[in-house]
Amino acid sequence: MSFEVELDPRKCNGCEECIEVCTADVFDMRNGKSIAVNPKDCVGCLSCVEICEQEAIAVEETGVKLSNTCAALLRDIL
């Protein structure tokens, strides 16, 4: 599974709580605000969403993304 991480810089107050709680090192600080520097590494635990009192972070499951080759192989099999 993959996840999409969205951060609203207008809501972020730069508390760095998301950086501390994220075990996948998704976030970093830039200009006093948190940004998702490694969003593809998100494991979807939602710890960042739960810790953010400003509700600046949203994480959504995007599903499995197949390469064109993999999709073609599956079509052939099915």
Question: Quick check: 71 pLDDT over 90?
Answer: no
Per-residue model confidence (pLDDT) at position 67: 87
Per-residue model confidence (pLDDT) at position 63: 77
Q: What CATH number belongs to 2-77?
A: 3.30.70.20
Which two structure tokens, joined as six digits, stand for 4? 């999409």
- Number of H helices and E strands in the chain, helices first, is 3, 4
CA 5 to chain centre: 3
- Domains of the chain: which residue ranges? 2-77
Per-residue model confidence (pLDDT) at position 66: 79
Is residue 5 classed as helix, strand or coil in its secondary structure? strand
Place of tokens 């080759």: 69
Question: Quick check: 46 pLDDT over 90?
Answer: yes
Environment class of residue 10 by beta-carbon count within 10 Å: exposed (0-12), middle (13-18) or buried (19+)?
A: exposed
